[in-house]
Amino acid sequence: MNRLFYLNHTPLHTRFSKNSKDFVVTEVPLYDFSGEGEHLILKVRKKDMTTWDMLQTFSERSGAKVRDFGYAGLKDKDGMTIQYISVHRKFETHFSNFSHEKIKILEMTRHTNKIKTGHLKGNRFFVRLKKVTPTEARILENVLNIVQKEGFPNYFGYQRFGREGNNYERGKEILEGKRRERNKKLRNFFISAYQSHLFNLWLSKRVEISKLFDAFDEKELFNLFNFPRETVRQIKAQPRFFKLLPGELLHHYPYGKMFLGEDIRQESTRFAKRQITATGLLPGKKALHATGVAGNYEKDITKACENFCEKMQGTRRFAWIWAEEIDYTYKESEAWFELSFTLPKGAYATTFLEELTHQHDLID
């Protein structure tokens, strides 16, 4: 599906290649490492290989099994990645003089526990956009100023859906019993792609609603939506582009707990200050559901899977996020726009770039 952009500028005809020179990802650890403990912490830089490929190489060189290594997140093959890996300290001698054409160990320290999935604050990205004209560079600067204040929708990116964009269809067929997949990891991946597809549909609808509230006055909105007048008034009065709805399941941002929003006037003020954010549904039996107006829009999405929803676990995901520490430079002689930014864990740099450029097929 083509996700609905929330900004209104025309598409920019820039190009982006996901290679080790033009795309760099650096993990931001969840905590400082103590320097003591039974776990060896490796700060590693890899180029043009997946995290799994790197761990397999480490396993072959050290004798440790792949499952013995800890990591906070899996990184793509394309580009350069700096991330942290843990393994028991008894394997330390195998990494002291480690050498590989695509892997470099930058630092070694120790810690008291193994790194586990999700043990990171976020990721710092460096991106080089090419074939950027001076006019497009000015548009990018203006757009970045808006996004830095307003945030952007936390869509799932193409990585979840595959180059052909049809991974979610396979997941649906598995859930419907129309397709068999013996590989458990692949089966779970395809099902998660289907959940992600439903999340993106829901989020695109919420962006559309926010656009309508941004564009029309209260009288017009009352005729468009079957909401009480006071609800329309409260939604319209919210200071940020993305509008919270009654019954929203909210979450403290970027860390904390989830809670039911009961006073959208008060919660919209906290949202504007980036203290909280809205969450969206990935359907399944363990997922919590919004209520009221917000819940009704979730139900529109879950109708598609009501016959097999119990076959999925389910969870919730931040619907709206902010890029932090945005920095950029335009090199007119090369027509390069170099951009650095930090995103919370689970967010996709590619969806951020697509919002900036309004290109769904940005990557070469």
The catalytic site residues sit at 76
Q: What is the distance in angstroms between the CA of the first residue and the CA of the last residue of the chain?
A: 19
What's the gap between Cα 345 and its chain centre? Answer: 7
Burial of 59 (0-12, 13-18, 19+ CB in 10 A): middle
Residue 107, helix vs strand vs coil: strand
Tokens 């129309």 map to which residue?
178
Measured between alpha carbons, how far is residue 31 from residues 121, 137, 232 in Å? Answer: 8, 36, 43
- Decide: 135 and 157 in contact? Cβ < 8 Å: no
Question: φ, ψ for residue 127 (rounded to 5)?
Answer: -135, 135
Burial of 118 (0-12, 13-18, 19+ CB in 10 A): exposed
Query: Alpha-carbon distance 219 to 237, whole Å?
Result: 13
**Quick one: which of 47, 39, 41, 50 has its CA closest to 73?**
50
Query: Alpha-carbon distance 350 to 188, whole Å?
Result: 23
For the chain, the residue count is 364
Query: Alpha-carbon distance 135 to 59, whole Å?
Result: 50
Residue 72, helix vs strand vs coil: coil
Query: Alpha-carbon distance 77 to 17, whole Å?
Result: 13
β partners of residue 268: none
- Beta-carbon contacts of 95 under 8 Å, excluding residues fewer than 6 positions away, are 40, 42, 58, 62, 105, 108
- Beta-carbon contacts of 100 under 8 Å, excluding residues fewer than 6 positions away, are 57
Count of CA atoms in the C-beta half-sphere (13 A) of 226: 5
